[in-house]
Structure formats: C-alpha cells, structure tokens
Structure 1
C-alpha cells in the first residue's frame, strides 16, 4: 500500500479513534444494550436456546468463543472500533469505485459522512455495538457486488465471492446487520456490468445470507422464543422513530437521526441546532446527487437511501405502527421492523457516495479553488455540526471497572452452574460505578450458567413485556416471598441480589432469609438454594452449535479466500 493509498484508511481510523477514544483505556463497556464481561460462555442462552428472542446471535457465540483467549472487554471494544473504521474506509472505497473522478478529496468526504453522523452517535449511546459493526460492512458489501457485476477477473471469481461472503457474514453478527447487508447486496445486483449475471449474484447473496442466518433461524425454529413476543400497539409505538426539535420525523430521519430513545441522543441534537445540522448534511448530499446520477451503477444506492428515509417515517405514523403490530401478531419475527430508525443505516452508502460527488459538483460550479479545499471545507462542516460525537459522545461512551464482588460471585456459580435468578426484578440496571445511564444486567453474559431474565422493559412509563415466561414465574415467586422449595422445583439453584441497583424487591426478603448466604459485600449477595436437581443438557445444543459453526465457516472462508486469492487490478463498474 502506497503512502497515497494509505491516506484514506488512516484518516478513517483517526476519525474512528476520535469517536471511541475513551474506550482505549482499561475497563468494560457497560451502556444500555452494550455489555462486556471478562469472559462469557456457551450457555444455552448464548446459543439461542431460551425463551428470549434470538436477537444477539451469533454475536454471543463469537464472544463466548473468543473470550476464552482474549478478554471480553478488549474484544468488544476492538470490534466496535473496527466497525467504525470499516464504515469510513469502505465508504471511501465505494465512492472511488463508482465515482473515480472524486479522487482522494471526495473519498475523505465519504469517509466523514459514514463515521461522523447522528446515526453513529445514537447507536453508540444505545449500546448497539454489533449493529455498528454491521453498519460498517455495508459499503464493502456494495463494493464487492458492484465489482462482481463489473466482471473484474479476480473479483468475478473466488476473490469476489470470498469478499462478499466475509462482509455479509461479519454484518451477520446480529440479525439486523445481516438483513441490512442482504438488502444492499440485492440493490447493487441491479448495476450494469458484463461480469457475473444478476441472477447468479442475487442467488449467491441470498444463499450466503441464509447460511449466515442459520444461528437465529434454527434457534427460532427449535425454541419457543417468539411465543411471548409483545406485539401490542404500546410495544410497537414505543420503538417508532422520533422527531427532533424543529424537524418532523421525516426530517430527523433524513439527517440520519431520530432513534426512539430520547435519552440516547447527543446534546447537540436536543435543541434547534439539530435543524441546522440536518440542513448541512442534506444539502451536501443533495449537491452531489447530480454527479452520482451520471453513474448507473450508483443510482440504486440513491434509491435505497431515499427508501431508507421514507419507509421508517411511514412506520412511525399511526398507520405504520398498526401495520407492524398486525404483521408481528401473525409472524412474530417481523417484530424486527418495530425499531424503524435502525433501517436508516441503509441510507449511508448512498449518502456517502453523494457527499463525495459534491466535491465534483462544486468544482464544476467553480465553487472552491481546488477539490482539496472544497473537501476540507465539507469535512469540517460535517464535523462541526455534530461536535459532541467526539470523545465517546462527550464522555458518555467510556469503560468502567466491575467491583470485585462480581468476579467472586461468578467464580462460585461457575463451580456449580445451576440456573440463576436475579434481583431486583428490573431487566435494566443502574449502578453508581457504571455511570448514570441504565445497562442490561451483565450476569447472563458472564456466568457459565443460564440466568433467568424476563426481558421486560420500562419505556416512557409503559412496560413492554419480554418473552421470558418461565423467568417471570420465578420472579413473581420471589417477589411474593415464596417457598424456596418451589424455586428448587423450578430448577433454580442460585439467587443473586445486585444490592447496588435500584429496583423492585417486593417481599423477596421473606424468601432470602430462609436461604444460605454464600457471599455478601456492598455490591452483591449470593444465596444458594438447596435440593435443586442437576441441570439437564439441552438435546438441541449440538444442532445450535452446528448452525453457528456454519456461520463461522462462511466468515473464515471469506477472510482466508480474500487473502489467498488476492485482488487483481481495479475495474470500474459499468456506467
């Protein structure tokens, strides 16, 4: 790689590090849905054999596998930083692929748009690290498919398919990421070219996606994880896209913002400044659209960007909420649609290419003496209107240290891995040592035992019920001060009280006072339940491990295939 060709990936890495700088320090990311622990294990829950919907497959499998040799906190932070880096570098590569005349200046603008935007800020604050990894794969998926269609010798052969397989599989760390990657791949199939046929490309993308989806498809098929899904209007409406100050829902989405959780928003997007910030992004993209329209291979990305803004806006209306509710009640798997704003990620490849095209358009309009000056001004403007994305969204995304009691409790339970019940009853925790934001309970990802969790969430004063029916029965028994023998009959062997987290305890003290106390400090208390039968091995574990192994094989084969075959000289997609 020459110094010139290394400039863009270096710039993208710098941007990614500026965003995630606090995470370079020691500790673990604990923020809303982001939970990292020193180690995790291949429990039934990690494989999808629980009553919870398989939303975190195969990421939990990967974390359990790799954290045996790499600290889980380091692994999660590395994947998150790599995902953002991939987004910027891939957006620049995509811009160079479809708009070669943008040069390095346009590539720098594309990288800035991909990394420095409200979508990244909001998903960071929500803790959706694996979704951001999938987000970072999207431009690479587009590049791989466009080059397959273009007919490049290496890319139309094994190297091309290896690249497509790797990026689809990596995006498939989470079901949403896989679906995003598949949509981008299928949209790029429409590009003109003399390489692999459209039918072959589409069939290949779908086949790869199905293989990578096996972990959660099999988990959904063999468990009852979707039977308790809450398809009520309240649950669906709570996750609809949200309008920002001065902007309607459509305007917020056009600015790559509008996440449902108003607490997971950078401060600059909570005032009328959001209007100006959105205007800057949208104007830059709009200015570049004419340059992109001249390239037939990129038109599909623009259409996809428009749809990725318009459709979530529709889903946020009363009619849209009712439609998602009705569809989810018939097919619970469609509940993936209810967080409509996350699909705005599909706009990023088109936005990035159009923003790069703005450099060419402004040069043709004789605005800006040189493309370098123009690109510098555009990058500066994009960063200036979202200043609080820097330094972990103004310090909100930072590592924390677990109190020693967590490791002590984990050691005792792992030595005798019976099912664990946890109090207080809330699924989300607020720990003084972890900061003001709530976080999912880390215990299920730390222990080598299955931890009961209802999945219930309190949103805007409403409770959105999760799928954990068995967990709810144990929780209700504890809150009612029930007989410990009944807990043993239900297979529960341990009760953990996270004493430094507020939440509902009910009459649980009546039950806990009758249990042997195994460990206690200011943060944690651990109680043993006597007479619990030995846990039985789920007969479907082998099937789920095999499904995950298929995903892992696609990921590794794609990675090795790219390295072994290599990339031949660049051939531009058809115009």
Structure 2
C-alpha cells in the first residue's frame, strides 16, 4: 500500500521533480532561506507560515530549499494515501486490501488536492496528509487500554507537529483528534484522549501563538477578505454540491480544467457515489460514525458560510476577534471530510462484494475516481512545474545578504507576474531569499477588490515610493535597499537606511525549537517503540 500511494503521489507532481523550484501563487521555494524576522513571525504580517518558514530556513542551510519543499509535498500526498489506507484498516477491517486501495485513491485523487496544489498550498497538503494518521492513532488509544501509552502519544506528537507546519494544518489535526476521542471503546478514557490531543496541539501552536502575541500582527481586522475568500459554486453543482465533491475553492483560476465545465457534475456523481455506496456499511461501524458526522459538518458549515447570512456572521466575528481571520477561507476546512469519505469509500467494497469480487470493485472505483479527474495527473495538467530563476535573482539576494538592511520593492504589492514562471501570479520570492526584512503590505486584489494586509510600515514606505520620494526620504523611513523588478531584469539600488531589529528573537527561536523537539521526540519515540515490538 505505501508503494501504491507513493506511485499516485509521484504521478500527480511528476513535472515538479525536474530540477528547479516550485513557484506558483502562494507557493514559493528558493535555493536558501534565512531566519529573518519574517521567518520567525516578527514582521507586521500575520504568522500564517509558521513554523513552516523556520523549518525551511533551517533545513535549507544543508539541503537546497527547492528540494526541501518538493520532498515535503511528495511526503504530504504519500502520507495522505497511505494514512487513509491504514485508517480504513482500523475502522473497516473487513474491507481488506481492496478497500484500502479505494481509500488511498480517493485521498490523493480528488479536487481538494488539485485546487490546493494550484493555489500553492503545499504545506497545507502536508497537514492534510497527517489527518488520517492522527485519526488512526487516537482511535487506537480509545480501542486498546492495556498497551503502553507512550508509543501512541509519541505518534500523535509527531503527526500533530508535522501537521502544524501551518496554523490551518494544526487546527485540522486537532479537530480530527478531538472528534476521534469521542468514539466508543474500552481503551483510554475519552477525556484523557482529548486532553492529550489538545495539549500536544497547544505545544505545536506555540510558534504562531507567541508570534501573534509579541508582534501584535493580528490587531487589524481581516474582515474585508471574508467575501473574497468564500467558497465558490462550480458549474451545475452549486456551492453545496461543489464542497460535497471536495471542490469549490474561492479562486476560480486555481481549478483544473475538468472542473470548469458541466463534466464536473459527472465527477461529483462518481466521487459521491463511491462514498454513498459505502455509507450504510460504515454507519454500522462505531469507529466510523464520528468521522462521518465530521464529514457532513465539514461540508455544510463552509457552504453556510458562503451564504449571505453566513458571510455577515463571519464578517462580524472577524471584526470582533481579528485573530480568527484564518477561518475566512471556508473551503479549506473541507479537508476534515476526507477521513470519513475514505472510510466510506473503503466500505463500498464490503457493500458490493455480494455481487462483485472485492478486487474488481476496488479497481472499478479507483479507475472511476481517476478518470473523472484526469487532469490531476502530471502536475495538474502541466500547471505545477519546476521553474528556474534568472541569474540576476541570485546576485541581488547575495548583495542584500552581504548588508541585510530593509528592502523596498517596486512594483508594489505582494503578487507578481514573471514571464519565466508561467501565466499564474506568484508571491514575491525575495522575502524568503534574503536575511533582511522585505517591506510588503500583504495587500491582495481579488476580482478587482482590494483585500488589505497587515503591513503598516510597508504601507507607509509604499506611499513614499508612489509619491516619488527621493533616496534621502526613503533612507529616513528606514529603507536600506530598493529593488525594481521588471520581467527578467532586476535593478538593485543601495539607499543606506536601516531599522532596528525586531525584539523577542530569542523568545521566538526558543518556541520554534520546542516545536522541533516535539517533532523529533515523537519520531524517536515511534522508532524506539517499533524496535521494541515483538517479532511475530
């Protein structure tokens, strides 16, 4: 099963395995990253990429950053497929290997994976891949009471920390863990399982919780982006149908071509049909019921959030509590439906085996899922590929790193269109390639509507640039370098200004190393537990 899951994962991202870097919308990889203030969550921007940026910065000191990101992306998809097969083995053991094949196929080959790849959310897909492992670990805690506790706590620590590369991934993992802790069983008490899960989640969340506190980057409201990030209806399905079939991302440009026509209805019928056939069997498995309920909630709530009353409620909530702006991208929470969907898909083999041999059912279901999303293969139809930076980028980064003063960039804005990077817009790679602070507001323009970011100081500098300020004014504002990006060409000018380094670097380094210790300790515990396991 691991080999099958790996084969599917490689088939999805094969073009990305060529030399080069992932640079697509929100995905940015560079040859090397640094422990800048931004990488530690000490900039004006909300800490959305912690501890992801810290991890890549540390590992890229010894391994090319492009390889690091690609390896993590492959690992995320592989873990999703293999993990859902393992989860099916725990919840629906009578489905056997055929059911596990169907579960692995659905986990990897679905619109959620395609759309998040096109949006550049590689680290979210790592968290996505951890969800079935979290579920299986907590279910085993509930099932077995006489086994030592520490091996499964170590396993849960590993999967929680790895899912916690981003805040969203951690929130997804914690939700799955708590839901699984309410399942019936004679093992560890529900309260103990939930307490362990939440305790580990809090430790894994320390990098972005502490960053949000010390940098006060969440003091500004993100309510303006709620409507722009609402789930989107696909042709013939409506919002609810789109979400139920694991699609409906807010960005209509980050969608496979096969999901832009009425063929999407056929794809939705196939995916939901495979799931629906297995639901009656899965409902008779007590371990599956909480996952199935979670799947329903994970579809219905984002759909409700996209209605007029739902948008009003979310906007009001985000204005009142700016820190919960992470919820505004409603479609990403549909990942919570996947563990339940894959368990039901595995159970479809049990439902149909009175008429068809199990491996025939598994083959038909798996091929149908693949055939109705054909353009997920080969980098989502060739859109997820490795790109190469023009030579001027490395030279500019080297000059800035030799004298790391704050950098202002023209044109202003966070997103760029580079001819050498394809047709899609991309985040400016510079902030992840230099030691210095790159002054960016984080503003986005979505469907002609401005969604402001949190960069207050950057916004004042951009105002000076727009007004045509001279170098002396820029220097007084703390600008050390001015980089002008124009296609393949870069123009770097030394301005000479500077700005005091952010406070609390020591604190932020400490909480990030706590996260690393949780990750490494969990992995070490799993290895030791496996080595001590009796040979049968």
Deviations 1:453-474 (A, max 9, x none): 1000010011101101110110
C-alpha separation in 2, matches of 1:285 and 1:407? 49
- The CA RMSD over aligned residues, in Å, is 1.2
Quote the residue 2:212 is aligned against. Answer: 220
Task: Calculate the TM-score normalised by the size of structure 2.
Answer: 0.98
Q: 1 CA distance for matches of 2:291 and 2:516?
A: 29
Question: 1:180-207, CA deviations, whole angstroms, 9 ceiling, x for partnerless residues?
Answer: 0000000000112222111111111000
Match of 2:323 among 305, 327, 333: 333
TM normalised by structure 1 equals 0.92
1:539 pairs with 2:506: no
The answer to whether the aligner puts 1:27 opposite 2:20 as a matched pair is: yes
Partner residue in 2 for 1:112: 105
Aligned counterparts of 1:94 and 1:190: Cα–Cα separation in 2: 16
Where does residue 244 of structure 2 map in the other structure?
254
- Structure 1 stretches of 4+ with a deviation exceeding 6 A read none
Structure-2 residue corresponding to 1:201: 193
2:533 and 2:292 mapped to 1: Cα distance? 28
* CA deviation map 1:406-437 (0-9, x unaligned): 00001111000000001101210010000000
Q: Secondary structure at the match of 1:448?
A: coil
Match for residue 149 of structure 2 among 145, 157, 162: 157
Structure 1 residue 538: Cα displacement = 2.5
Provide the rounded CA distance (Å) in 2 between the counterparts of 1:398 and 1:540: 38
Provide the C-alpha distance between the structure 2 equivalents of 1:110 and 1:523, rounded to a whole number of angstroms: 48
1:560 maps onto 2:520 in alignment: no
- Unaligned 5+ runs, structure 1: 1-7, 501-521, 571-575
Tell me the residue number matched to 1:305.
295
Provide, for residues 234-289 of structure 1, a one-character-per-residue CA deviation record: whole Å limited to 9, x for no partner: x2111000000001100000000000000000000000000110010111101101
Q: Aligned pair 1:276/2:262, yes or no?
A: no
* C-alpha distance after superposition, 1:294-351 (max 9, x if no partner): 1101100000000000000000001111111111111111111110000000000000
Residue aligning to 1:101: 94
Structural mapping, 1:283-322, within 5 Å: 283-322=273-312
Deviates more, 1:137-146 or 1:288-297: 288-297
Match of 2:226 among 227, 236, 250: 236
Give the SS at the match of 1:29: strand
Aligned position for 1:362: 352
In the TM superposition, residue 391 of structure 1 has moved relative to its aligned partner by: 0.1
Q: Name the structure 2 match of 1:398.
A: 385
Q: What is the SS of the residue equivalent to 1:238? A: coil
Contact 2:219/2:323, CA 8 A, preserved across alignment:
no
Asked whether the 8 Å contact 1:229–1:466 carries over to 2, the reply is no
Task: Identify unmatched segments of 5+ residues in structure 2.
Answer: none
TM-superposed CA distance for 1:228, in Å, is 3.0
1:379 corresponds, among 366, 374, 387, to 366
Structure 1 SS opposite 2:439: coil
Distance 1:66 1:27, change over 3 A: same
CA distance in structure 2 between the partners assigned to 1:379 and 1:286 by the alignment: 15
Report the Cα distance in structure 2 between the residues aligned to 1:191 and 1:224, rounded to whole angstroms: 39
1:550 aligns with 2:514: yes
From 163, 170, 176, the counterpart of 1:171: 163
Q: CA deviation at 1:84?
A: 0.1
Equivalent residues in 2 for 1:364-513, closer than 5 Å: 364=354, 366=355, 368=356, 370-500=357-487
Paired residue secondary structure (1:402):
coil
Alpha carbons 1:242, 1:260 under 8 Å: kept: yes
